[in-house]
Amino acid sequence: MTEHDLTLVAGSAETSCGPDVVELQHLIDGNWTDSASGETFERHSPASGQLISRASRGDASDTEKAIAAARKAFDDRRWSDVPGAERARFLNRVADLIDTNRTRIARLETQESGKPISQAEAEIEGAANIWRYAATLAWNIRGESQNALGPDMLGMVLKVPVGVVSIITPWNFPFLIVSQKLPFALAAGCTAVIKPSELTSATTVLLGQLLIEAGLPAGVVNIVLGYGDPVGTVMTTHADVDMVSFTGSTGVGKSIVAATSATLKKVSLELGGKNPQVIFADADLDEAADAIVFGVYFNAGECCNSGSRIIVHEDVADALNEKIVALSRKVPFGDPMNPETRVGAIISKTHQDRIDGYVRQAVDAGARVLLGGEALSIDGLSGNFYQPTVVADVGAQMPIATEEVFGPVLSVLTFRTFDEAIALANTASYGLSAGVWSDNVHTCLEFVRRAEAGTVWTNTWMDGYPELPFGGVKESGLGRELGSGGIEEFLELKTVQMRIGKTRQKWV
């Protein structure tokens, strides 16, 4: 395998001339501010190595100020007392501003993350639609009544905002994922402190600017830039934080659960996945191959929903592998700023080496690399790129088959019987998503029932809608985002029991 077998997109003139460096500050109590320490950190493009942003480096004192601002804003009810209809209008204003600034947001996202510009633009459009969907939920926060408790009693169940929410987001979809959390928290009446990944802080800061422009009261949303220690640590342990909403690795998610145990905060976690697609012998192999290629290379495989593990009936395995390899050669890898690019840069050299380690380990254990398996050089760019990689003859217990590689690497396993396919699909400790390919609806429905996953796709992969909940089982997380349940995560139930008239019998 050589690089000349691939479709490559060289660095563009726009990349080589370099972007303007963006200066980023914290947003605390409605004010943009430097860190108390005066320290900063820098982010360089993973595609070109050029300096993209310079951010204030938050410490514990900065984080405590942000939490105090969010606490005060919640306790004085400046946001939770705003009628749902008005909160909805605010969320729609934010959505409109996101649309207006879509190009600007997408460029920053691409420069910091290395994802293709066309993909980033589509994600920003999707994020705006999520804000609009959350706005519809702000109108409809409904409890219930119990009117059959006897003639002298009326019962009600209210839904109230949980309080101050710490929102911690990852580097792979920085704007989209904060948009899967924050608008639902705001729709519920909560206040928030946000920590974006130190690798991709710029678009969250830009979102903060749009929130202010849309008229959000000071202190309702605060943003602290920096590293997990100390910023994330304070956000997950502080007594004035009522809930933590985190998206990231399962390992960090477990540490957050441990950290929050002292105060028993509410926790919502969207974690990793090792998502299987099971292809039966009667499947449309051309359709399946196209979806598999999309599923494994989208966002360079740096996606919790990546379809990185296929389990194919052995009678059609060779034919499917040939189709996947042929399509993989056609996928344009390269300069993220080029609109033709489908797969951009890997987030860091350290992560690229980790991806390569999984491939090397699989080969040493007897797997075969059908395509790729090495770092990739792109003319005009000095960043981190990895070849589209297909690995066959993968054993069910190999790390490449059970652990999250988080790169453009596809593992191919085979099966003979339905029960064997289900067993392989459910082997991993994760349970985020799964897929089934078959022309037999009975096969698809039985798979849906038996697959251990929060989302199951049939004859498709990675379609998504704001109306449908997203989240996992097992070690893929706790709770759900999106859908009508997206706002429920940020609400608590309060029971009210009302005696009607002076009918209570005296105890003494």
What's the rounded Cα separation, in Å, for the pair 477 and 432? 8
Of the candidate CATH numbers 3.40.50.2000, 3.40.309.10, 3.40.50.261, 3.30.70.1070, the domain formed by 276-458 belongs to 3.40.309.10
Cβ partners under 8 Å of residue 48, min gap 6? 11, 15, 16, 18, 381, 382, 383
- Answer whether residue 350 shows pLDDT above 80: yes
Mean pLDDT of 24-42: 98
Strands 266-270 and 477-478: antiparallel
Residue whose pair of structure tokens reads 């477990």 in the numeric block? 254
Q: What's the confidence (pLDDT) of residue 14?
A: 57
For 403-415, how does the pLDDT look when each residue is reduced to its tens digit (9 = 90+)?
999 999 999 999 9
For 45-70, how does the pLDDT look when each residue is reduced to its tens digit (9 = 90+)?
999 999 999 999 999 999 999 999 99
- CATH H-level superfamily of 15-271+476-493: Aldehyde Dehydrogenase; Chain A, domain 1 (3.40.605.10)
Pick from 45, 345, 352: which is nearest to 200 by CA?
45
Q: What's the confidence (pLDDT) of residue 16?
A: 44
For 319-345, how does the pLDDT look when each residue is reduced to its tens digit (9 = 90+)?
999 999 999 999 999 999 999 999 999
Share of the chain above pLDDT 90, in %: 94
Which amino acids are annotated catalytic?
Answer: 270, 304
- pLDDT tier, 1 (very low <50, low <70, confident <90, very high otherwise): very low
Q: Which residues of 105-143 are buried (b: 16+ CB within 10 A; e: fewer)?
A: bbbbbbbbbbbbbbbbbebbebbbebbbbbbbbbeebee
In three-state secondary structure terms, 439 is: coil
Mean pLDDT of 420-447: 98
What's the rounded Cα separation, in Å, for the pair 49 and 26? 25
- Answer whether residue 17 shows pLDDT above 60: no
Residue 393 tokens, joined:
């003859």
What's the rounded Cα separation, in Å, for the pair 5 and 13? 24
Residue whose pair of structure tokens reads 């690399």 in the numeric block? 369
Residue ranges of E strands in 275-349? 276-279, 309-313, 332-334
- Answer whether residue 41 shows pLDDT above 80: yes
Name 311's bridge partners.
278, 413
Residue ranges of domains in the chain: 15-271+476-493, 276-458
Three-state helix/strand/coil letters over 28-96: ECCEEECCCCCCEEEEECCCCCCEEEEEECCCHHHHHHHHHHHHHHHHCCCCCCCCHHHHHHHHHHHHH
SS3 percent helix, strand, coil of the chain, rounded to 5, is 40, 20, 40
C-beta neighbour count of 145 within 10 angstroms: 11
Q: What's the confidence (pLDDT) of residue 18?
A: 59
Mean pLDDT of 297-314: 97
- pLDDT tier, 506 (very low <50, low <70, confident <90, very high otherwise): confident
- Answer whether residue 4 shows pLDDT above 50: no
What's the rounded Cα separation, in Å, for the pair 157 and 180? 26
Residue 426 tokens, joined:
């459910």
Instruction: Say what the pTM is.
Output: 0.96
For 255-281, how does the pLDDT look when each residue is reduced to its tens digit (9 = 90+)?
999 999 999 999 999 999 999 999 999
What's the rounded Cα separation, in Å, for the pair 1 and 381? 21
Residue 282 tokens, joined:
């009667």
CA dihedral for 212, 233, 191, 199, sign (positive or negative): positive
For 124-182, how does the pLDDT look when each residue is reduced to its tens digit (9 = 90+)?
999 999 999 999 999 999 999 999 999 999 999 999 999 999 999 999 999 999 999 99
What's the rounded Cα separation, in Å, for the pair 459 and 445? 12
Please give the mean pLDDT across all residues of the chain: 96
Q: What's the confidence (pLDDT) of residue 502?
A: 79
Topology alike, domains 15-271+476-493 and 276-458: no
